[in-house]
Amino acid sequence: MVRLTMDLIAKSISHKNHSEEDFGQYVRKITHLNLSDKNINAIGDLSLCKNLRVLYLYDNHIRQIQNLDFASNITHLYLQNNCISCMENLSSLKNLEKLYLGGNCITVVEGLDKIEEIRELHVESQHLPLGEKLLFDPRSLRSLAKSLSVLNISNNNIDELEELAVLENLSYLRAVDNQIQHMKDLEVVLNKWTKLRRMDLAGNPICHKPKYRDRIVVQSRTLESLDGKEIKEMERQFLMNWKASKAARKKNKERMTNEHTADLHFCNTHDYFPYLKRKKIVEHSRINMHEIHQTCKIYLSILI
């Protein structure tokens, strides 16, 4: 059981032959603190580290995010590969830009509704209960809408992305090894992500859909890389021309079908009286309108 305290910091830094006053001044000035892989299970009082900007605490055994109220200057927080189950006590980190929480036990992305500067959020590979998927709190998503540009949600059993459409500044989405499978749902969010440059969906069922890459390349005009493979402008232009040509052929076919149907509906039965006379079906004076209609159908079937 190791608790992160000032004593642990003192032991971890090369600060020999200095007085306590010198140490106090030192930790007040420190901006980067690396305490990764130290068997730490709890975050204690670090309030003397007033100017801390970057805190590395990955590969430990931390169960709870706590005692960071002092850390309003932190911009980068590395907490991946711990035992954290809840995103909490983060509201004081007003200047947080990058948050790394991959490899924990988080089931809901939450607790970010008071933070509006986050540019990168990494929550990949959570140790979820069997059959569950990573969920997103709508309030946190709204708070991230204008700032978040990088999102890593890989390996979290996620099966749809529609709720993430609010992330209007997203430029890189990494969502490999999930359960995303419906192309139409993906096309909806791609229409919203007008700044998306890179997207990785390898390992999802959707990747096996017919023309998966082609449809995404055509749908997103800003995307520059898909599943690690560059999208060249020549490729996009070819696919766009092919799509336009296909749409034109479909429209022309529909027009011809509609015209043919209209001809059938508006044909004048009187135009077929000469044929009726030649066949001597019945005398003109005794022809019943119902019989005319039926006979016309027969005649049209012969013509067609």
pLDDT digits (tens, 9 = 90+) for 164-193: 999 999 999 999 999 999 998 899 999 999
The structural domains of the chain, with segments of one domain joined by +, span 2-229, 232-266, 269-304
Instruction: Give the tokens for residue 198.
Output: 């890179």
Question: In the predicted model, what is the mean pLDDT of residues 221-245?
Answer: 84
**In angstroms, rounded to a whole number, what is the distance separating the alpha carbons of residues 293 and 280?**
16
pLDDT of residue 160: 95
Instruction: Give the tokens for residue 51.
Output: 């100017």
**In angstroms, rounded to a whole number, what is the distance separating the alpha carbons of residues 97 and 259?**
60
Q: Would you say residue 297 has pLDDT above 60?
A: no
Q: Would you say residue 241 has pLDDT above 50?
A: yes
Superfamily assignment of 2-229 in CATH? Ribonuclease Inhibitor (3.80.10.10)
pLDDT digits (tens, 9 = 90+) for 252-272: 666 676 655 665 665 554 554
Which has the closest alpha carbon to 179: 152, 198, 161? 161
pLDDT of residue 273: 46
Question: In the predicted model, what is the mean pLDDT of residues 207-220?
Answer: 92
- 152 band by pLDDT with thresholds 50, 70 and 90: very high
Question: Model pTM greater than 0.85?
Answer: no
What separation in angstroms does the CA of 230 have from each of 107, 216, 227, 235? 33, 13, 8, 10
Instruction: Give the tokens for residue 155.
Output: 């390996």
Question: In the predicted model, what is the mean pLDDT of residues 276-296?
Answer: 49
Beta-bridged to residue 76, according to DSSP, are 54, 98
pLDDT of residue 24: 79
- 8 band by pLDDT with thresholds 50, 70 and 90: confident
Among 46-50, 75-79, 119-123, 291-295, where is mean pLDDT lowest?
A: 291-295
Which residues are CB-contacts of 8 (< 8 A; sequence separation ≥ 6)?
2, 35, 38, 40
Plot region of 37 (φ>0 → left; ψ -120 to 50 → alpha; else → beta): left
Q: Would you say residue 284 has pLDDT above 60?
A: no
Among 83-87, 119-123, 139-143, 279-283, where is mean pLDDT lowest?
A: 279-283
Task: Write 116-119 long-range contacts (CB < 8 A, 24+).
Answer: 116/143, 116/146, 116/147, 117/147, 118/144, 118/147, 118/148, 119/147, 119/148, 119/149, 119/150
pLDDT of residue 279: 47
**In angstroms, rounded to a whole number, what is the distance separating the alpha carbons of residues 130 and 207?**
24
- 74 band by pLDDT with thresholds 50, 70 and 90: very high
pLDDT of residue 7: 84
**In angstroms, rounded to a whole number, what is the distance separating the alpha carbons of residues 101 and 111?**
13
Q: Would you say residue 239 has pLDDT above 80?
A: no
Query: In the predicted model, what is the mean pLDDT of the chain?
Result: 85
